[in-house]
Amino acid sequence: MPSVLIANAKILPDAVPLFTAWQARHLEVLSRFPGFISRDVIPMDSGKPGEGWSILLNFESELVATAWQGSAERQTLMAEVAPLLEGGDFTERIRSTESVSPASEVTEVIFSKVRAGMESRYCEWASRIQAAQAKYPGYRGMYLQSPARSGEEHWTSILRYDSAEHLEAWMQAPERQALLAESKEFIHSEKLLRLGTSFPGWVPVDPLTGKGPPNWKTALLVLLGLFPIVMLEMRFLSPVLSAWELRVSPAMFLGNVVSVALTSFLTMPLFVRWFGWWLYPKGGTNAVAIRGVGLLCVLFALEVLLLWNLLPG
């Protein structure tokens, strides 16, 4: 069963920059340790005054977590960080659990493809950006997983804030923009996904701005795809379900399964690609918005006309 090693410590007031640099080395060593899954850092302003910093290390099993505690790599890292901590050490405990992750209101998931051979630079930069974002109101911590564990080519970082407003303040902060400009040397590409919105997973945020499109735009695209799906279901699927003599509840459930699946995996991916110019305008936003709404009105009218005689009555 997966286990988490929970380490708590209070950092000496003047030692935070050095602790940030240590975190980079800590992450780099951990990412190479067999059985390590991910690291979650919760800073001093996580909403629990007096508890200092917490580092949650997820491992494949309690045996692996114990092996890490007794490893030479960890002993070296602990010797480095001891002068930076009140009491000279972390307090640690191991819990067997599927995962331990603090609750959050809004989450930004960032998939980063790091250039080959520049993983150390990325780890050092990730620790610095974590320290920077920790200074902003509402910060709830950052989870980081290396490609070695996920089986993908991207590093996955999950950034948590207590509200969309606080998250957006950090995403638009000049300090973050400067760090992103620096990262172009060692990050080949990034993809951002905002959770905690009205349409999580269907519409990504703009990687250039960190913002998602307005919910009303997404809702119109959902309607554009959902209307013909429901009409076609009523024409072709409903008679089949009636022939099976299903009751209304299971028949409605199956119809909704089909609608959600087609919307999630067919219509929305296509519409996001085709209407990207409208969802993420580069300039002249009012004119672009009007053109997009006008085009959608035409498409809605065409759908209604094409499906006019699909059903009797």
pLDDT digits (tens, 9 = 90+) for 20-41: 788 888 888 888 888 888 787 7
Instruction: Kindly calculate the radius of gyration of the chain based on its CA atoms and give it in whole angstroms.
Output: 24
Give the global pTM: 0.48
Summarize pLDDT for 82-92 with one digit per residue, the tens.
Answer: 898 888 777 87
pLDDT of residue 104: 43
**Burial classification of residue 62, based on how many CB atoms lie within 10 Å of its CB (0-12 exposed, 13-18 middle, 19 or more buried):** middle
Task: Decide if 228 contacts 209 (C-beta within 8 A).
Answer: no
How far apart are the C-alpha atoms of 13 and 9, rounded to whole Å?
12
Residue scoring higher pLDDT (213 or 205):
213
Per-residue pLDDT tens digits for 45-81: 544 444 477 788 888 888 888 999 889 999 999 899 8
pLDDT of 258-301, one tens digit each?
Answer: 998 899 889 998 998 899 899 888 766 788 989 999 999 999 99
DSSP states along 19-86: HHHHHHHHHHHHHTSTTEEEEEEE-TTSS-TT--EEEEEEESSHHHHHHHHT-HHHHHHHHHHGGGBG
Q: Where are the alpha helices (DSSP H) in 172-275?
A: 174-183, 215-232, 238-243, 248-262, 268-274
The ranges assigned to domains in the chain are 3-195, 215-306
Selected residue with higher pLDDT from 104 and 256:
256
| Higher per-residue pLDDT: 259 or 195 | 259
**What pLDDT is stored for residue 14 in this prediction?**
82
Query: Distance between CA atoms of 119 and 132, rounded to whole angstroms?
Result: 20
Residue 170's identity, in one-letter code, is W
The predicted pLDDT at position 108 comes to: 80
Confidence band (pLDDT; 50, 70, 90) for 148?
A: low
Most confident of 43-47, 57-61, 120-124, 224-228: 224-228
Question: What pLDDT shows up at residue 197?
Answer: 52
- Which CATH number, 3.40.50.1110, 1.10.3720.10, 3.30.70.100, 3.40.50.300, labels domain 3-195? 3.30.70.100
Query: Residue 43 corresponds to which tokens in the numbers above?
Result: 């800073």
Q: How confident is the model at residue 43 (pLDDT cuts 50, 70, 90)?
A: low
- Which residues are CB-neighbours of 163 under 8 A, at least 6 positions away? 105, 106, 138
Answer whether residue 206 shows pLDDT above 70: no
pLDDT for 100 equals 46
Residue 249 has pLDDT above 90, yes or no: no
